[in-house]
Amino acid sequence: KDLYQLKDDIGSLNKTIGGQTLNPELVQQKLLDFISKNEFEVKIVSIEDVHLFSDSEFLIYSNQIEFEGAYNNLVYTLYEIEKHFKYSRVVSSLLYSKKNYRTNKKHLFLKIILQNYENTK
């Protein structure tokens, strides 16, 4: 009985912290699909290649995406990804601005890092 409860608990934790073992490139495609279906009012500036990190127990996949837009739209996009994107978990987000010296205007950006892991044992 305790073993079954423990397996359920581990399954719940894996769902919570992104422990699905999907193909890392598939996670990135699903993220782009999620963004396009929700029609967020932001511009995708860049998407980094999937970064892999491994240690003795885990293989960690990291995806990084960067958006440009208005503050409210960027915060809404972050909220929706964090709450409703189930294939990976947001581990870091950064709002920052850059000044375009040709137009003398500031542009606001949002960088999000998402991760999921695979147990290698």
Q: Are 78 and 19 in contact (CB under 8 A)?
A: no
Q: Is the pLDDT of residue 20 over 60?
A: no
Report the Cα 20 to chain-centroid distance in Å.
13
Q: List beta partners, residue 108.
A: 97
User: Which pTM value belongs to this model?
Assistant: 0.79
Q: Give me the pLDDT at residue 23, please.
A: 74
Section 63-90 average pLDDT? 94
Query: 115 is written with which tokens?
Result: 């991760």
Q: How far is CA 104 from CA 11, 84, 101, 107, in A?
A: 51, 36, 5, 10
